[in-house]
Amino acid sequence: MSRPERAVAGDNEVQELIAKARTAQATYEAFSQEQVDAIVRDMAKYVYDNAEKLARMAVDETGIGNYEDKVLKKKGKARVIWNNLKGKKSRGIIGEDAENNLVYVAKPMGVVAAVCPVTNPVATPMCNGMFALKTGNAVIFAPHPKAQKCTEFLTAEFMKIVKKHGGPDNLIQTVKKGSVEKTQELMRAADVVVATGGGAMVKSAYSSGKPSYGVGAGNVPVIIDRGVDMKDAVGKIVTGAAFDNGIICSHEQFVLTPEESYDETVRLFKDTGKVWFTSDEKQIQKLREVVFADGHLNKDVVGKTAREIGALAGIDVPASARIILLPAKGAGTADILAKEKLCPVVAILPYKTFQDAVSKAKANLVVEGAGHSAALHSNDEGHIREAGVALPISRDRKSTRLNSSHT
Protein backbone atom coordinates (compact mmCIF):
# COMPACT_ATOMS: atom_id res chain seq x y z
CA MET A 1 0.00 0.00 0.00
CA SER A 2 1.88 3.05 -1.23
CA ARG A 3 1.49 6.42 0.44
CA PRO A 4 0.11 9.39 -1.52
CA GLU A 5 2.41 12.23 -2.42
CA ARG A 6 2.09 15.09 0.04
CA ALA A 7 2.94 18.73 -0.28
CA VAL A 8 5.91 19.60 1.91
CA ALA A 9 6.64 23.22 2.60
CA GLY A 10 10.13 24.48 3.28
CA ASP A 11 13.55 23.11 2.41
CA ASN A 12 13.87 21.61 -1.10
CA GLU A 13 16.29 18.96 0.14
CA VAL A 14 13.76 17.62 2.60
CA GLN A 15 11.04 17.58 -0.06
CA GLU A 16 13.28 15.60 -2.38
CA LEU A 17 14.30 13.14 0.31
CA ILE A 18 10.67 12.50 1.22
CA ALA A 19 9.64 12.01 -2.42
CA LYS A 20 12.48 9.55 -3.05
CA ALA A 21 11.71 7.69 0.17
CA ARG A 22 8.04 7.28 -0.77
CA THR A 23 8.96 5.85 -4.15
CA ALA A 24 11.43 3.44 -2.55
CA GLN A 25 9.03 2.38 0.17
CA ALA A 26 6.28 1.62 -2.33
CA THR A 27 8.60 -0.91 -3.97
CA TYR A 28 10.02 -2.28 -0.75
CA GLU A 29 6.58 -2.89 0.71
CA ALA A 30 6.19 -5.84 -1.67
CA PHE A 31 9.30 -7.59 -0.32
CA SER A 32 8.79 -10.91 1.40
CA GLN A 33 9.63 -11.67 5.02
CA GLU A 34 12.70 -13.58 3.87
CA GLN A 35 13.96 -10.68 1.76
CA VAL A 36 13.40 -8.16 4.55
CA ASP A 37 15.13 -10.33 7.13
CA ALA A 38 18.14 -10.89 4.88
CA ILE A 39 18.68 -7.12 4.57
CA VAL A 40 18.21 -6.45 8.27
CA ARG A 41 20.51 -9.32 9.24
CA ASP A 42 23.28 -8.03 6.98
CA MET A 43 22.94 -4.51 8.40
CA ALA A 44 23.66 -5.88 11.86
CA LYS A 45 26.47 -8.08 10.53
CA TYR A 46 28.12 -5.11 8.83
CA VAL A 47 28.23 -3.10 12.06
CA TYR A 48 29.45 -6.10 14.04
CA ASP A 49 32.19 -6.93 11.56
CA ASN A 50 33.31 -3.32 11.22
CA ALA A 51 32.93 -2.20 14.84
CA GLU A 52 36.57 -1.10 15.18
CA LYS A 53 36.48 1.07 12.07
CA LEU A 54 33.12 2.60 12.95
CA ALA A 55 34.17 3.27 16.55
CA ARG A 56 37.28 5.09 15.37
CA MET A 57 35.23 7.20 12.96
CA ALA A 58 32.78 8.12 15.73
CA VAL A 59 35.48 9.18 18.20
CA ASP A 60 37.45 11.10 15.57
CA GLU A 61 34.45 13.04 14.25
CA THR A 62 32.56 13.76 17.46
CA GLY A 63 35.53 14.06 19.81
CA ILE A 64 33.65 12.31 22.60
CA GLY A 65 33.46 8.87 24.16
CA ASN A 66 35.91 6.00 24.54
CA TYR A 67 37.13 4.02 21.52
CA GLU A 68 37.37 0.61 23.23
CA ASP A 69 33.92 1.00 24.77
CA LYS A 70 32.43 2.05 21.45
CA VAL A 71 33.77 -1.11 19.84
CA LEU A 72 32.07 -3.20 22.53
CA LYS A 73 28.87 -1.17 22.22
CA LYS A 74 28.62 -1.60 18.47
CA LYS A 75 29.26 -5.33 18.58
CA GLY A 76 26.86 -5.76 21.48
CA LYS A 77 24.07 -3.66 19.99
CA ALA A 78 24.32 -5.33 16.59
CA ARG A 79 24.07 -8.77 18.19
CA VAL A 80 21.26 -7.88 20.61
CA ILE A 81 19.07 -6.07 18.08
CA TRP A 82 19.35 -8.79 15.47
CA ASN A 83 18.68 -11.53 18.02
CA ASN A 84 15.60 -9.58 19.09
CA LEU A 85 14.29 -9.20 15.54
CA LYS A 86 15.13 -12.53 13.93
CA GLY A 87 12.30 -15.00 13.61
CA LYS A 88 9.62 -12.37 14.24
CA LYS A 89 6.97 -11.89 11.58
CA SER A 90 6.57 -8.34 10.33
CA ARG A 91 5.05 -8.82 6.89
CA GLY A 92 1.46 -9.75 6.09
CA ILE A 93 -0.64 -11.69 8.58
CA ILE A 94 1.31 -11.99 11.83
CA GLY A 95 -1.31 -13.54 14.10
CA GLU A 96 -4.93 -14.44 14.77
CA ASP A 97 -7.32 -14.24 17.71
CA ALA A 98 -9.92 -16.89 16.96
CA GLU A 99 -11.92 -16.18 20.11
CA ASN A 100 -12.55 -12.59 19.09
CA ASN A 101 -12.52 -13.30 15.34
CA LEU A 102 -9.53 -11.01 14.73
CA VAL A 103 -6.68 -11.28 12.22
CA TYR A 104 -3.54 -9.20 12.85
CA VAL A 105 -1.90 -7.76 9.75
CA ALA A 106 1.43 -5.88 9.80
CA LYS A 107 1.33 -2.63 7.84
CA PRO A 108 4.26 -0.23 7.36
CA MET A 109 3.87 3.42 8.35
CA GLY A 110 5.68 4.67 5.25
CA VAL A 111 8.62 7.02 5.84
CA VAL A 112 10.39 7.11 9.21
CA ALA A 113 12.24 10.24 10.32
CA ALA A 114 15.01 9.08 12.66
CA VAL A 115 16.68 11.85 14.68
CA CYS A 116 20.13 10.71 15.82
CA PRO A 117 22.27 12.17 18.63
CA VAL A 118 25.97 13.06 18.63
CA THR A 119 26.48 10.60 21.48
CA ASN A 120 25.52 7.56 19.36
CA PRO A 121 26.30 8.31 15.70
CA VAL A 122 26.50 4.64 14.67
CA ALA A 123 24.48 2.55 17.13
CA THR A 124 21.34 4.72 16.97
CA PRO A 125 21.10 4.85 13.13
CA MET A 126 21.79 1.12 13.02
CA CYS A 127 19.01 0.32 15.49
CA ASN A 128 16.46 2.69 13.96
CA GLY A 129 17.39 1.63 10.44
CA MET A 130 16.97 -2.05 11.29
CA PHE A 131 13.62 -1.42 13.00
CA ALA A 132 12.35 0.67 10.07
CA LEU A 133 13.33 -1.83 7.40
CA LYS A 134 12.15 -4.85 9.39
CA THR A 135 8.66 -3.33 9.37
CA GLY A 136 8.62 -2.42 5.68
CA ASN A 137 9.41 1.29 5.93
CA ALA A 138 11.86 3.70 4.36
CA VAL A 139 14.01 5.74 6.73
CA ILE A 140 15.65 9.15 6.63
CA PHE A 141 18.28 9.97 9.23
CA ALA A 142 18.61 13.46 10.67
CA PRO A 143 22.13 13.43 12.15
CA HIS A 144 23.70 15.79 14.63
CA PRO A 145 25.95 18.25 12.70
CA LYS A 146 28.99 16.89 14.57
CA ALA A 147 28.21 13.34 13.42
CA GLN A 148 27.35 14.05 9.79
CA LYS A 149 30.19 12.04 8.22
CA CYS A 150 29.54 8.95 10.34
CA THR A 151 25.87 8.90 9.48
CA GLU A 152 26.42 9.50 5.76
CA PHE A 153 29.05 6.75 5.64
CA LEU A 154 26.80 4.27 7.44
CA THR A 155 23.89 5.16 5.16
CA ALA A 156 26.01 4.47 2.08
CA GLU A 157 27.15 1.10 3.47
CA PHE A 158 23.61 0.12 4.38
CA MET A 159 22.39 1.05 0.91
CA LYS A 160 25.02 -1.27 -0.60
CA ILE A 161 23.39 -4.05 1.42
CA VAL A 162 19.91 -3.05 0.27
CA LYS A 163 21.01 -3.06 -3.37
CA LYS A 164 22.80 -6.41 -2.99
CA HIS A 165 19.47 -7.92 -2.00
CA GLY A 166 17.60 -6.29 -4.89
CA GLY A 167 16.17 -3.42 -2.89
CA PRO A 168 15.27 0.02 -4.29
CA ASP A 169 17.42 3.14 -4.37
CA ASN A 170 16.90 5.69 -1.58
CA LEU A 171 15.34 3.30 0.91
CA ILE A 172 17.81 4.67 3.48
CA GLN A 173 18.83 8.33 3.24
CA THR A 174 20.49 11.03 5.34
CA VAL A 175 19.83 14.76 5.53
CA LYS A 176 22.90 16.62 4.26
CA LYS A 177 24.37 19.40 6.38
CA GLY A 178 21.98 18.66 9.22
CA SER A 179 20.39 21.49 11.16
CA VAL A 180 17.57 22.02 13.64
CA GLU A 181 15.44 23.58 10.92
CA LYS A 182 15.89 20.68 8.51
CA THR A 183 15.22 18.17 11.27
CA GLN A 184 11.99 19.90 12.22
CA GLU A 185 10.92 20.02 8.57
CA LEU A 186 11.67 16.34 8.17
CA MET A 187 9.65 15.43 11.26
CA ARG A 188 6.63 17.31 9.92
CA ALA A 189 6.91 15.64 6.52
CA ALA A 190 7.50 12.01 7.52
CA ASP A 191 4.84 9.52 8.57
CA VAL A 192 6.35 8.64 11.94
CA VAL A 193 9.20 10.09 14.03
CA VAL A 194 11.78 8.32 16.20
CA ALA A 195 13.76 10.97 18.10
CA THR A 196 16.77 10.34 20.31
CA GLY A 197 18.36 13.36 21.96
CA GLY A 198 17.81 16.16 24.41
CA GLY A 199 14.51 17.19 25.89
CA ALA A 200 14.00 20.04 23.44
CA MET A 201 14.40 17.75 20.43
CA VAL A 202 12.03 15.16 21.86
CA LYS A 203 9.47 17.86 22.62
CA SER A 204 9.81 19.09 19.05
CA ALA A 205 9.14 15.56 17.80
CA TYR A 206 5.98 15.33 19.89
CA SER A 207 4.91 18.70 18.47
CA SER A 208 5.46 17.65 14.85
CA GLY A 209 1.88 16.50 14.39
CA LYS A 210 3.05 12.98 13.54
CA PRO A 211 3.13 9.79 15.65
CA SER A 212 6.39 10.07 17.58
CA TYR A 213 8.58 7.95 19.80
CA GLY A 214 10.99 10.02 21.86
CA VAL A 215 13.98 9.00 23.96
CA GLY A 216 15.14 11.95 26.08
CA ALA A 217 17.15 12.39 29.25
CA GLY A 218 18.09 9.27 31.21
CA ASN A 219 19.38 10.44 34.59
CA VAL A 220 19.47 6.96 36.13
CA PRO A 221 19.42 6.71 39.94
CA VAL A 222 20.92 3.52 41.38
CA ILE A 223 19.88 2.19 44.81
CA ILE A 224 22.19 -0.13 46.74
CA ASP A 225 19.88 -2.06 49.05
CA ARG A 226 20.91 -3.41 52.43
CA GLY A 227 22.10 -7.01 52.45
CA VAL A 228 23.80 -7.04 49.03
CA ASP A 229 27.45 -7.66 48.23
CA MET A 230 28.58 -4.02 48.37
CA LYS A 231 31.86 -4.63 46.57
CA ASP A 232 30.08 -6.39 43.72
CA ALA A 233 27.48 -3.60 43.45
CA VAL A 234 30.13 -0.87 43.44
CA GLY A 235 32.16 -2.68 40.79
CA LYS A 236 29.15 -2.91 38.50
CA ILE A 237 28.26 0.75 39.03
CA VAL A 238 31.79 1.85 38.16
CA THR A 239 31.72 -0.26 34.99
CA GLY A 240 28.39 1.20 33.93
CA ALA A 241 29.07 4.83 34.82
CA ALA A 242 32.50 4.86 33.17
CA PHE A 243 31.40 3.13 29.96
CA ASP A 244 31.98 5.32 26.89
CA ASN A 245 32.85 8.21 29.21
CA GLY A 246 29.34 8.34 30.64
CA ILE A 247 27.37 9.18 27.49
CA ILE A 248 25.06 6.16 27.66
CA CYS A 249 21.63 7.47 28.66
CA SER A 250 20.99 4.38 30.81
CA HIS A 251 24.19 4.57 32.84
CA GLU A 252 24.24 5.18 36.61
CA GLN A 253 24.17 8.89 37.51
CA PHE A 254 23.29 9.07 41.19
CA VAL A 255 24.13 6.48 43.87
CA LEU A 256 21.88 5.98 46.88
CA THR A 257 23.49 3.92 49.65
CA PRO A 258 22.42 3.05 53.24
CA GLU A 259 23.51 5.77 55.67
CA GLU A 260 25.37 3.34 57.93
CA SER A 261 27.32 2.04 54.92
CA TYR A 262 28.08 5.41 53.34
CA ASP A 263 31.76 5.55 54.34
CA GLU A 264 32.26 1.92 53.35
CA THR A 265 30.62 2.54 49.97
CA VAL A 266 32.90 5.50 49.27
CA ARG A 267 35.94 3.44 50.29
CA LEU A 268 34.91 0.62 47.97
CA PHE A 269 34.57 3.07 45.10
CA LYS A 270 38.05 4.45 45.79
CA ASP A 271 39.50 0.95 46.19
CA THR A 272 38.62 0.11 42.58
CA GLY A 273 41.47 2.40 41.52
CA LYS A 274 39.14 3.88 38.91
CA VAL A 275 37.36 6.51 41.00
CA TRP A 276 38.44 9.98 42.14
CA PHE A 277 36.48 11.21 45.14
CA THR A 278 36.50 14.53 46.96
CA SER A 279 34.60 15.85 49.96
CA ASP A 280 36.17 19.32 49.58
CA GLU A 281 33.17 21.61 49.11
CA LYS A 282 35.18 24.12 47.06
CA GLN A 283 36.22 21.43 44.60
CA ILE A 284 32.68 20.04 44.49
CA GLN A 285 31.30 23.48 43.70
CA LYS A 286 33.89 24.04 40.96
CA LEU A 287 32.85 20.78 39.36
CA ARG A 288 29.17 21.67 39.67
CA GLU A 289 29.85 24.92 37.83
CA VAL A 290 31.86 23.17 35.13
CA VAL A 291 29.34 20.38 34.50
CA PHE A 292 26.36 22.74 34.70
CA ALA A 293 27.48 26.07 33.29
CA ASP A 294 24.82 28.70 34.02
CA GLY A 295 22.57 25.96 35.37
CA HIS A 296 22.56 23.97 32.12
CA LEU A 297 24.57 20.93 31.07
CA ASN A 298 27.87 22.11 29.61
CA LYS A 299 28.34 20.56 26.15
CA ASP A 300 32.11 20.71 26.67
CA VAL A 301 31.99 17.97 29.32
CA VAL A 302 29.79 15.54 27.40
CA GLY A 303 31.67 12.32 26.75
CA LYS A 304 34.97 13.63 28.09
CA THR A 305 37.28 11.77 30.47
CA ALA A 306 37.31 12.34 34.22
CA ARG A 307 40.76 13.91 33.91
CA GLU A 308 39.61 16.33 31.17
CA ILE A 309 36.61 17.39 33.25
CA GLY A 310 38.83 17.92 36.27
CA ALA A 311 41.15 20.10 34.20
CA LEU A 312 38.23 22.32 33.19
CA ALA A 313 37.64 22.90 36.91
CA GLY A 314 41.33 23.46 37.64
CA ILE A 315 41.59 20.15 39.50
CA ASP A 316 44.29 17.53 38.87
CA VAL A 317 42.32 14.30 38.50
CA PRO A 318 44.64 11.33 37.88
CA ALA A 319 44.59 9.71 34.45
CA SER A 320 43.70 6.37 36.07
CA ALA A 321 40.32 7.72 37.21
CA ARG A 322 37.41 6.61 35.03
CA ILE A 323 34.78 8.47 37.06
CA ILE A 324 34.53 11.39 39.48
CA LEU A 325 32.41 10.68 42.58
CA LEU A 326 30.90 13.65 44.42
CA PRO A 327 28.76 13.87 47.58
CA ALA A 328 25.37 15.40 46.80
CA LYS A 329 23.64 17.91 49.09
CA GLY A 330 20.32 16.20 48.48
CA ALA A 331 18.03 14.71 45.85
CA GLY A 332 15.71 16.33 43.32
CA THR A 333 15.94 20.11 43.33
CA ALA A 334 18.29 20.15 46.35
CA ASP A 335 21.39 19.73 44.16
CA ILE A 336 21.95 20.25 40.44
CA LEU A 337 24.13 17.11 40.55
CA ALA A 338 20.84 15.19 40.68
CA LYS A 339 20.34 15.92 36.94
CA GLU A 340 21.62 14.03 33.88
CA LYS A 341 25.31 14.70 33.31
CA LEU A 342 26.29 12.67 30.18
CA CYS A 343 29.84 12.42 31.46
CA PRO A 344 31.68 10.28 34.05
CA VAL A 345 30.61 12.41 37.02
CA VAL A 346 28.50 10.51 39.56
CA ALA A 347 26.84 11.83 42.72
CA ILE A 348 26.36 9.83 45.94
CA LEU A 349 23.87 10.33 48.78
CA PRO A 350 22.99 8.28 51.90
CA TYR A 351 19.43 7.18 52.69
CA LYS A 352 17.68 6.06 55.90
CA THR A 353 15.05 3.51 54.92
CA PHE A 354 14.43 1.77 51.61
CA GLN A 355 11.32 3.89 51.19
CA ASP A 356 13.52 6.97 51.67
CA ALA A 357 15.82 5.72 48.90
CA VAL A 358 12.89 5.23 46.54
CA SER A 359 11.58 8.69 47.40
CA LYS A 360 14.96 10.26 46.63
CA ALA A 361 15.28 8.34 43.36
CA LYS A 362 11.79 9.47 42.37
CA ALA A 363 12.62 13.09 43.21
CA ASN A 364 15.56 12.96 40.79
CA LEU A 365 13.49 11.42 38.02
CA VAL A 366 10.73 13.98 38.44
CA VAL A 367 13.31 16.74 37.88
CA GLU A 368 14.74 14.96 34.84
CA GLY A 369 14.48 11.48 33.38
CA ALA A 370 10.91 10.39 34.13
CA GLY A 371 9.88 7.53 31.86
CA HIS A 372 13.44 6.30 31.34
CA SER A 373 15.42 3.98 33.66
CA ALA A 374 16.51 3.20 37.21
CA ALA A 375 18.88 0.61 38.67
CA LEU A 376 18.64 -1.42 41.86
CA HIS A 377 21.05 -3.81 43.59
CA SER A 378 18.90 -5.94 45.87
CA ASN A 379 18.22 -9.46 47.11
CA ASP A 380 14.78 -8.46 48.39
CA GLU A 381 12.06 -9.35 45.89
CA GLY A 382 9.59 -7.17 47.76
CA HIS A 383 11.88 -4.15 47.49
CA ILE A 384 12.46 -4.84 43.80
CA ARG A 385 8.74 -4.82 43.12
CA GLU A 386 8.16 -1.82 45.37
CA ALA A 387 10.72 0.24 43.46
CA GLY A 388 9.35 -0.90 40.11
CA VAL A 389 5.84 0.22 41.05
CA ALA A 390 6.82 3.52 42.70
CA LEU A 391 9.40 4.90 40.27
CA PRO A 392 8.27 6.74 37.10
CA ILE A 393 10.32 4.59 34.73
CA SER A 394 9.86 2.29 31.76
CA ARG A 395 12.56 -0.16 32.82
CA ASP A 396 14.25 -1.17 36.06
CA ARG A 397 17.61 -2.90 36.05
CA LYS A 398 18.07 -5.17 39.05
CA SER A 399 21.19 -7.00 40.15
CA THR A 400 21.02 -9.88 42.63
CA ARG A 401 23.70 -11.79 44.47
CA LEU A 402 23.59 -14.25 41.56
CA ASN A 403 24.93 -11.39 39.42
CA SER A 404 21.99 -11.62 37.01
CA SER A 405 20.76 -8.45 35.36
CA HIS A 406 17.34 -7.83 33.92
CA THR A 407 16.15 -4.91 31.84
Q: Would you state the pLDDT for residue 249?
A: 86
Asked if the model's pLDDT at residue 396 lies above 80, the reply is no
Four-point Cα dihedral 182, 156, 192, 371, nearest 10: -90
Whether 29 has a pLDDT exceeding 60, the answer reads yes
How high is the mean pLDDT of the chain? 92
CB 193 within 8 A of CB 203: no
Residues in the chain: 407
- Distance (Å, whole) CA 50 – CA 405: 28
Instruction: For residues 74 and 125, give the distance between their C-alpha atoms in angstroms, rounded to a whole number.
Output: 11
* Exposure class string for 326-335: b at 16+ Cβ within 10 A, else e: bbbeebbeeb
Mean pLDDT of 65-81: 97
| 397 confidence band (pLDDT: 50, 70, 90) | low
407/402 Cα distance (integer angstroms):
15
Q: Are 142 and 182 in contact (CB under 8 A)?
A: yes
Please report, for residues 177, 182, 346, the alpha-carbon distance to residue 327 in angstroms, rounded to integers and kept in the order given. 42, 42, 9
Distance CA 76, CA 345 (A): 24
For residue 403, pLDDT beyond 60: no
pLDDT > 80? residue 175: yes
Distance (Å, whole) CA 341 – CA 336 = 10
Q: What is the pLDDT of residues 141-160, one digit of tens each?
A: 999 999 999 999 999 999 99
What's the average model confidence in pLDDT over 268-277? Answer: 98
User: Residues 212-253: pLDDT tens digits?
Assistant: 777 767 899 999 999 999 999 999 999 999 999 999 988 999
3-class SS of residue 325: strand
Domains of the chain: 12-215 (3.40.605.10), 220-406 (3.40.309.10)
Going by C-beta distance under 8 Å and a sequence separation of 6 or more, which residues neighbour residue 323?
Answer: 238, 241, 242, 246, 274, 275, 276, 306, 344, 345, 346
What's the pLDDT tens digit per position in 108-128? 999 999 999 999 999 999 999
As beta bridge partners, residue 141 has: 114, 174
Kindly tell me the burial class for residue 318, based on how many C-beta atoms sit within 10 Å of its own C-beta (0-12, 13-18, 19 or more).
Answer: exposed
For residue range 202-219, what is the model confidence (pLDDT) as tens digits? 777 767 777 777 776 789
Q: What is the pLDDT of residue 1?
A: 42
* Predicted pLDDT at 385: 95
Classify 29 as helix, strand or coil: coil
Choose between 216 and 397: higher pLDDT: 216
Rounded-to-5 percentages of helix, strand, coil across the chain: 45, 20, 35
- Whether the predicted pLDDT of 164 surpasses 90: yes
**β-bridge pairing 395-399 and 373-377:** parallel
pLDDT tens-digit map of 304-326: 999 999 999 999 999 999 999 99
Dist. CA 110–CA 295, nearest whole Å? 41
**Four-residue CA torsion sign, 316, 321, 324, 325:** negative
Q: What is the pLDDT of residue 405?
A: 32
* Inter-residue contact 368 to 341 (CB < 8 Å): no
In terms of phi and psi (left: phi > 0; alpha: psi -120 to 50; beta: otherwise), the region of 148 is: alpha
7: left (phi over 0), alpha (psi -120 to 50) or beta: beta
pLDDT at 36 over 50: yes
Dump pLDDT digits (tens) for 277-306: 999 999 999 999 999 998 899 999 999 999
- In this prediction, residue 8 carries a pLDDT of 41
Is the pTM for the entire model greater than 0.95?
A: no
Q: How far apart are CA 96 and CA 1, in angstroms?
A: 21
CA dihedral 50, 55, 56, 61 (to 10 degrees): 130
- Catalytic annotation, residues: 249
The distance of Cα 37 from the centroid of its chain, to the nearest Å, equals: 24
